[in-house]
Amino acid sequence: MGNRVLVVGDIHGAALTLNRLFDVIGLERCDELFLLGDYIDRLDNSCGVVETIIRLQKDGFKIRPILGNHEDLMLLAIRSGVFEDLLQWLENGGDATLKSYGVRHPQDIPEEHLHFFESLPLYRVTDRFVFCHAGINTDLQDPFSTPGRHHMLWDRTGVFDIGKLGGKRVVSGHTTRKLVDIKKSLKGTNLKIDNGVYLSGFPGKGNLVCVDLGTNELFIQPNIDMAPADLY
């Protein structure tokens, strides 16, 4: 059952759901697991999500995380020291992250976790796939250069030229999709696998999704974490 290439979409503080998903897929050390960013915000256990990822990495699991726009917003709030940057992050679910860590400002998050966030790459490339949080701007001469950064974190168009990526398919999250649309995307050039785990109660959403990229098998774990009341 090992030697799989797996990918999981946006987790958003759903630590219990993530660990249940790992039980469902039977994650092994010989598997390679890509994570598409947005580990924090919205749901109530961002700290637990990051602890799980770090623990698995220390235990020898091949975990390949990348940066999401929510981690980027938090890091900007820390680096800039500008209140408006902090406010923007808080308004996008950062308050739930602070509560999970029991701190009042993101700069007070434990150093090991801050190092994890700061070390996240914008993208990862394999012989068959490009993994990014949101999208790829192939109108640029080099889509992976600094001018392409905003696209990789924020794009919602899903438009790109696969020929300029050497035929590699793009695997992304960021924009929530219904399960039926995620399944359709598995056959296309852009696999879009964010099912909005924090959107329990919304038709076709509210699950954490994992895809086996070798077989296109879809693993679906409904949200078992508590959701903030203001989402409903």
Q: Tell me: the pLDDT tens digits for 94-121? A: 999 999 999 999 999 999 999 999 999 9
pLDDT attached to residue 182: 98
Q: Span 122-150, mean pLDDT?
A: 97
Encoded tokens for 156: 């919602």
Q: What percent of the chain has pLDDT over 90?
A: 95
With cut-offs at 50, 70 and 90, classify the pLDDT of residue 2.
low
- Beta-bridged to residue 191, according to DSSP, are 171
Task: Record the pTM.
Answer: 0.95
Please, are residues 48 and 40 in contact by the beta-carbon 8 Å criterion?
no
pLDDT attached to residue 166: 95
pLDDT attached to residue 226: 73
Give SS3 for 34. Answer: strand
With cut-offs at 50, 70 and 90, classify the pLDDT of residue 227.
low
The alpha helices in 119-188, defined as continuous H runs, are 149-154, 179-185
- pLDDT tens per residue across span 36-57: 999 999 999 999 999 999 999 9
Please, are residues 173 and 134 in contact by the beta-carbon 8 Å criterion?
yes
Statement: residue 231 has pLDDT above 80: no
Going along the chain from its start, the domains and CATH numbers come out as 5-231 (3.60.21.10)
Return the half-sphere exposure (C-beta side, CA atoms, 13 A cut-off) of residue 50: 26
Q: Span 15-32, mean pLDDT?
A: 98
Please, are residues 23 and 47 in contact by the beta-carbon 8 Å criterion?
no
What contacts 24+ positions apart, CB below 8 Å, involve 125-128?
125/168, 126/5, 126/168, 127/168, 128/168, 128/169, 128/213
